[in-house]
């Protein structure tokens, strides 16, 4: 680094290669977002499968990986969810060392506000359920919440007064671009091919129904196994293999303010008034809005959704009322009926899918890639994702975080 500083930083090499695609791979991952790159990395690292290509129609980490609000937490209600998301948090804790890339994981605490009796009951239930699953989560009075996050307005005259909060201290944020870059570099170092600007246009199958490869904008590429990690576009990709999915794609928006000095110490979420906010290391306030109500692939949404969120932010944090917003954007999230992901085999032999992360996939990136790599390598799920099948919608064995209202969906 010192050497580069002396010569104008002109000698840095590429962090990952841009190879020409081979004719055939053992595994092709469709989608070079965080989850797809993590899958490739763990395939190479944990399972010794290095003849892997990650195909990306745009640029690496340019979808939801670069568009989310970077929040990490694992305080979900159900056992399956606690298992999956806490697995991810445990990987986050050592991820920078593992990848030898600073992903800027910052366990600054995630505080979820309760504004009514129902919120209080639900959050306390979550805290108890989390404790039984070994996930840290604690109850704060409004005064304790104010102490943890001084900008918070706990006045009884607020439109929706704060009645308390649930705090997960291990929760926090990480830098989303660094996560994609770190996984890409580490996977590339282990021989994985990352092929950008290569759109998959079809999935080819053999006589027995088994997948044999993909048609792409750069020609046919053979593969023994295919993992689809295409987020909002999963339904479109799976349609290429004639698999219909229990998914709908919605726009989800976020925005950042102009950068200011450090003033906001943690992540605060409020499901009831629907806002969540944190401050990035650059100093911008990072604010997440809700989904638009209609299905879309437009990567944009309505301004009234953002306005609604900012109303809530200004009510909870009066000191931000004169803050100017810098940018807003949208991503397309694929939502399952029970708001839990699908990480599983599919009815097509050799085809695997990791999707349905809805509005909260970033936090799970390492855990998701880890168990999906296991599923692909062994043609069998890891015990952590055994329940996250597509067939659960036939059997009715849902992982119903939608009804549990654990998260700001």
Q: How far apart are CA 48 and CA 17, in angstroms?
A: 19
Interaction residues for other proteins, span 327-346 (CB under 8 A): 334, 337
Q: Beta strand pairing status for 24-30 and 52-55? A: parallel
Cβ(180)–Cβ(60) below 8 Å: yes
Q: Establish if 235 lies at the interface with other proteins (CB under 8 A).
A: yes
Cβ closest to other proteins, residue 15 vs residue 298: 298
- Residue choice 17, 66, 246, 265 for contact with other proteins (CB under 8 A): 246
Position 218 contacts other proteins (CB under 8 A):
no
User: Per CB under 8 A, does 294 bind other proteins?
Assistant: yes
Which member of 141, 150, 236, 380 binds other proteins (CB under 8 A)? Answer: 236
Contact segment (CB under 8 A) with other proteins among 30-38, 140-148, 241-249, 315-323 equals 241-249
Cα–Cα dist 192/41, whole Å:
8
Is position 201 an interface residue for other proteins (rule: CB under 8 A)? yes
- Please, which residue, 39 or 291, has the CB nearer to other proteins? 291
Distance CA 244, CA 376 (A): 20
Q: Per rule CB under 8 A, is residue 396 in the interface with other proteins?
A: yes
Tell me how far, at minimum, the Cβ of 201 lies from other proteins, in Å.
8
Tokens of 135: 């996930």
Q: Give the tokens for residue 363.
A: 């936090």
Q: How many binding residues for other proteins (CB under 8 A)? A: 29
- Tokens in use for 313? 């932010």
What does the alpha-carbon distance between residue 174 and residue 96 come to, in Å, rounded to a whole number? 10
Question: Cβ-count burial of 177 within 10 angstroms (0-12 exposed, 13-18 middle, 19+ buried)?
Answer: middle
Nearer of residues 55 and 184 to other proteins, judged by Cβ: 55
Q: Please tell me whether residue 157 binds other proteins under the rule CB under 8 A.
A: no
Q: Which phi-psi region, left, alpha or beta, contains residue 400 (left: φ > 0; alpha: ψ -120 to 50)? A: beta
Q: Residues 215, 238: contact at Cβ < 8 Å?
A: no
Nearer to other proteins, 174 or 254 (CB): 254
Question: Is 265 an interacting residue with respect to other proteins (CB under 8 A)?
Answer: no
Nearer to other proteins, 128 or 397 (CB): 397
Binding test (CB under 8 A) with other proteins, winner from 94, 131, 303, 327: 303
CA distances from 260 to 98, 283, 305 (A): 32, 5, 24
Q: Which residues contact other proteins by CB under 8 A? A: 199, 201, 233, 235-236, 239-240, 244-249, 293-298, 300, 302-304, 334, 337, 393-396
């Amino acid at each position: 680094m010192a050497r580069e500083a002396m010569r104008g930083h002109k000698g840095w090499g590429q962090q990952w290669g841009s190879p020409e695609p081979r004719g055939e791979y053992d595994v092709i991952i469709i989608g070079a977002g965080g989850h797809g790159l993590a899958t490739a990395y763990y395939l190479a690292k944990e399972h010794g499968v290095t003849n892997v290509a990650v195909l990306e129609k745009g640029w690496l980490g340019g979808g939801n990986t670069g568009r989310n609000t970077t929040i990490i937490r694992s305080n979900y209600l159900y056992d399956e969810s606690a298992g999956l998301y806490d697995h991810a948090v445990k990987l986050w804790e050592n991820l920078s060392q593992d990848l030898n890339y600073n992903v800027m994981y910052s366990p600054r605490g995630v505080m979820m506000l309760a504004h009514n009796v129902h919120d209080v009951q639900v959050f306390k239930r979550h805290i108890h359920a989390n404790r039984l699953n070994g996930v840290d989560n604690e109850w704060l009075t409004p005064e304790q919440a104010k102490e943890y996050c001084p900008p918070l307005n706990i006045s009884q005259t607020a439109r929706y007064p704060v009645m308390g909060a649930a705090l997960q201290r291990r929760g926090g944020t990480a830098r989303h671009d660094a996560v994609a870059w770190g996984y890409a570099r580490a996977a590339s170092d282990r021989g994985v091919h990352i092929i950008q600007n290569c759109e998959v246009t079809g999935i080819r199958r053999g006589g027995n129904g088994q997948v044999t490869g993909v048609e792409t904008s750069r020609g046919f590429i053979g593969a023994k196994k295919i993992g689809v990690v295409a987020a909002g576009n999963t339904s479109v990709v799976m349609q290429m293999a004639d698999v219909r999915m229990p998914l709908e794609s919605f726009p989800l928006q976020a925005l950042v303010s102009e950068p200011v000095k450090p003033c906001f110490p943690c992540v605060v979420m409020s499901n009831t008034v629907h806002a969540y906010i944190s401050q990035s290391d650059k100093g911008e306030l990072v604010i997440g809005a809700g989904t638009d109500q209609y299905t879309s692939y437009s990567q944009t949404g309505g301004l009234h959704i953002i306005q609604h969120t900012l109303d809530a932010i200004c009510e909870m944090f009066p000191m931000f009322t004169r803050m100017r917003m810098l940018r807003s954007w949208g991503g397309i999230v694929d939502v399952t009926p029970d708001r839990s992901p699908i990480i599983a085999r599919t009815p097509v032999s050799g085809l695997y899918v990791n999707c349905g992360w809805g509005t909260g996939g970033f936090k799970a990136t390492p855990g998701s890639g880890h168990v999906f790599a296991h599923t692909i390598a062994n043609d069998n799920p890891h015990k952590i994702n055994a329940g996250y099948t597509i067939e659960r919608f036939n059997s009715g064995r849902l992982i119903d975080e939608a009804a549990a209202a654990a998260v700001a969906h």
